[in-house]
Amino acid sequence: MIPIEEAERIVDEITRQPNTLSTEKIPLMDSLGRVLGQDIVSTISMPPFDKSAMDGYAVISGDDANRFEIVEIIAAGSVPQKTIAKGQCAKIMTGAMLPPGADRVIKQEVTEEKDGFMVLTGEDKNINICYLGEDIKPGDVVLKTGSLIRPPEIGVIASMGLNSVRVYEKPRVGIITTGSEIVSPGQALAKGQIYNSNAYSIAAQVIRTGADIMVAGIVQDDKEHIRGKIADLLKHTQMVLISGGVSVGDFDFVPGILKDLGVCLHFEEIAAQPGRPTVFGTWNDVLIFGLPGNPVSTFIMFEVLARKALCRLMGYEFAPLFLKGVMKKKFHRKRVERAFFVPVKYDNEGFVEPVEYHGSAHLAALPQANALLTVPMGVHEIAEGSVVYVRQI
Ligand code: AMP
Ligand code: MG
């Protein structure tokens, strides 16, 4: 049994290969949730011209005229025709080009217009100009290879004039559910059976991370069947996630089968609760996680170990967000041989409170939680009021 930190370190080390991922060029609007496979280098300045930041009047700064003759009206998108001289101004709209001669814009709110002249009714201390290239200059790297493409990145890429983008190809993740008691949702439950929730929650976690899934379905606890399914997925995916069959029961065949298939196992037991029998191995470039069947264990071990590894396969570095909070009540436990992942609720005041949780089969506890508190090995108690960092889930 290895500490969870050691397990994280092993996964980290093994997945930190040089990036040899292939890329593809896709339409910009298909790229949400994908990972940039190219630097985005600007060929333009942003803004591309000195522009007004306000609706108002473009003037020469220091011009102390009582009233300003309006020589033209400049709409956004049009090119100014007149040069501004002392005693003159151009009515200008937000986003419009600054006319030659002018070097400041007085916002409309402190002015009045009368007989073709602008008169000041108040004071505007601001310059109200966005200068050519103040945000971006040609040659600037605006987004780096390996960036996750979210709505702001989509906007930035579009602002560079690009309507397609090079991204890393999506990894394919194989999912196998083992267990002779497992039945698909939509079917009737017979005695002794239980619905397959793991294949669904794992698939959702993979999809949320941004990868594709290849679902091998439910496999009975039968060595030959399990071996056949795993062997098949190893050939067609970059990561295989196996639910169940990793513990010490008479029908927990997965670790033995992985060894038979030539998978190199890097660990088979972690000092984590839930998640003790989690298995991690590699076969050529394929990463394999055997996740304990109890649904909370499956979910948590994916979040803690597999998610970062999957992100690496997608071409980006994922770091979970840890929120700083304060324990609302004391947390106490008797046994301390393993690190304990506690589903907790982190509220808007920054308080952390464990949700009602009966153990690793209690899947219905998870929707109540939005974070995980890690109680380290050897720690019996976390006092009320103490500061903790919880992992957002
Ligand atoms: P195992 O790791 O195969 O020993 O399974 C541990 C527990 O998790 C057992 O109570 C199983 O019935 C349950 N379990 C295993 N697989 C699933 C699954 N796909 N969905 C829901 N529960 C499962
Ligand atoms: Mg089982």
Sort strands 331-332 and 351-354 into parallel, antiparallel or unpaired.
Answer: unpaired
Which CATH superfamily hosts domain 51-130? Molybdopterin biosynthesis moea protein, domain 3. (2.170.190.11)
Q: How far is the CA of 219 from the centre of ligand 2 (A)?
A: 10
Cβ(247) – ligand 1 distance below 6 Å: yes
Global pTM exceeds 0.85: yes
CA distance 201 to 177: 11
What are residue 351's DSSP bridge partners?
326
Task: Please give the CATH architecture assigned to the domain spanning 2-20+170-314.
Answer: 3-Layer(aba) Sandwich (3.40)
Is the beta carbon of 196 within 6 A of some atom in ligand 1?
yes
Answer CATH for 23-42+143-168 from 3.40.50.10470, 3.40.50.170, 3.30.56.10, 3.90.105.10 = 3.90.105.10
Q: What's the pLDDT tens digit per position in 39-85?
A: 999 999 999 999 999 999 999 999 999 999 999 999 999 999 999 99
Antiparallel, parallel or unpaired: β 286-291 and 371-375 = unpaired
Which residues place a Cβ less than 5 A from the ion ligand 2? 179, 244-245, 293
- Is 338 in contact with 387 (CB distance < 8 Å)? no
Say how many Å lie between the CA of residue 199 and the centre of ligand 2. Answer: 13
Specify the pLDDT at position 18. 67
Per-residue pLDDT reduced to its tens digit, 17-51: 767 899 999 999 999 999 999 999 999 999 999 99
CA of 199 to the centre of ligand 1 (A): 11
Closest atom of ligand 1 to CA, residue 178 = 16
Residue 143 pairs in a beta bridge with 40
- What ligand 1 atom has the least distance to the C-alpha of 249? 4
pLDDT digits (tens, 9 = 90+) for 325-357: 999 999 999 999 999 999 999 999 999 999 999
Q: Determine how many CB atoms are found less than 10 A away from the CB of residue 129.
A: 20
Mean of per-residue pLDDT scores for the chain: 97
How high is the pLDDT of residue 358? Answer: 96
Q: Shortest CA distance to 13 belongs to which of 239, 217, 266?
A: 266
- Asked whether the predicted pLDDT for residue 285 surpasses 70, the reply is yes
Tell me, which fold does domain 322-392 have in CATH? Answer: Beta-clip (2.40.340)
The pLDDT of residue 78 is 97
Residues of the chain with CATH 2.40.340.10: 322-392
Q: What pLDDT score was predicted for residue 317?
A: 95
- Whole-number pLDDT of residue 17: 75
